[in-house]
Amino acid sequence: MTARVITITSGKGGVGKTTATANIAVALASLGKKVVCVDADIGLRNLDVVMGLENRIVYDLVDVVEGRCKLRQAMVKDKRVADLYLLPAAQTRDKTAISPQDMVSLTGQLRADFEFILIDSPAGIEWGFRNALAPADEVIVVTNPEVSAVRDADRIIGLIEADPRRLPTSLLLNRIKPEMIRRGDMLSVNDVLEILSTRLLGVVPEDEHILISSNRGTPLALDSERTPAGDAFLNVARRLMGEKVPLIQLERKDGWFSRLTRIFGSSK
């Protein structure tokens, strides 16, 4: 077994990197893959709370790097699914506590035992981003359909393109509101793709269930209830596994009939 190391990044903060990392990791694990996610956001760790594992952390990434514990001791096992682990970030240190080389050797030790290593990158393009990118085989750029997020995604894609390793990069467009796109008040999926000219990995609709799941610390793929965002993340996981999964039909078929029924107030 040789893991694929996938770094999830965005440039801009608050677009849903951590949520995406947690949900993709849980989805992959629920599909039977051996997964570890690494929180590379030293000093501002959050992957633990989104995944609901914050109470079980004993050691962290920096403890491993500085030799206070073995790698295995720092890894928190998610008991709700088989083969899902979290390597938490340190909360009381800053990003300079680890180096890109540390990240490479750390993931190197994990590669043999897992199929996917997901790295949750911090926002920005500085040290933390370099740390998260150093061990990557692939990159997922998360963005939202808004001007600032797309601009930052473009910057990040430019930085990844400038890297001599030529890492395969794909786009995860998060927080789409089909109704706003229909009104012409939100950049469409095609608008964003045209501007960024990047392969599309998935489209995730804005969904209240995301907030509810992070309130509870239960990523959507753990929930038995089917949700729009949960389905979208499950599809992303399938695509990462090489399956051909069509995009969720976000926009309703908007023929003359449905428009007519809306005009006449039918609750369709």
Partner 1 sequence: MASFWNRLLGRQEATSADTARDRLKLVLVSDRSDISPEKLAQLQGEIIAVIKRYLDVDDAHVHIKLEQRARENYLVADIPLARDTSYGALPPVEAPPELEPEPEEPARATKPRKPRAASPAKPSASAPRKSRSRSTKAAVPDTDPPAEPPAP
Where does this chain bind partner 1 (CB under 8 A)?
A: 146-147, 150-151, 154-155, 157-158, 161, 181, 183-188, 191, 195, 197
Centre a 10 Å sphere on the Cβ of residue 240 and count the other Cβ atoms it contains.
22
Least distance CB 190 / partner 1 (angstroms): 9
Strand 4-9 versus strand 116-120 pairing type: parallel
Query: In this complex, which beta carbon is closest to partner 1, that of residue 97 or of residue 250?
Result: 250
- Report how far residue 70's alpha carbon sits from residue 100's, in angstroms, rounded to the nearest whole number: 19
Least distance CB 156 / partner 1 (angstroms): 12
Query: In this complex, which beta carbon is closest to partner 1, that of residue 47 or of residue 157?
Result: 157
Least distance CB 195 / partner 1 (angstroms): 6
Query: In this complex, which beta carbon is closest to partner 1, that of residue 52 or of residue 124?
Result: 124
**HSE value, Cβ hemisphere, 13 Å, CA-based, for 128:** 24
Query: In this complex, which beta carbon is closest to partner 1, that of residue 107 or of residue 144?
Result: 144
User: CB-based contacts of 131: which residues, under 8 Å, 6+ apart?
Assistant: 40, 42, 95, 98, 99, 100, 102, 103
Least distance CB 149 / partner 1 (angstroms): 10
Least distance CB 162 / partner 1 (angstroms): 11
Q: Which 3-state string (H, E, C) describes 46-103?
A: CHHHHHCCHHHCCCCHHHHHCCCCCHHHHCEECCCCCCEEEECCCCCCCHHHCCHHHH
- Report how far residue 251's alpha carbon sits from residue 44's, in angstroms, rounded to the nearest whole number: 36
Query: In this complex, which beta carbon is closest to partner 1, that of residue 68 or of residue 165?
Result: 165
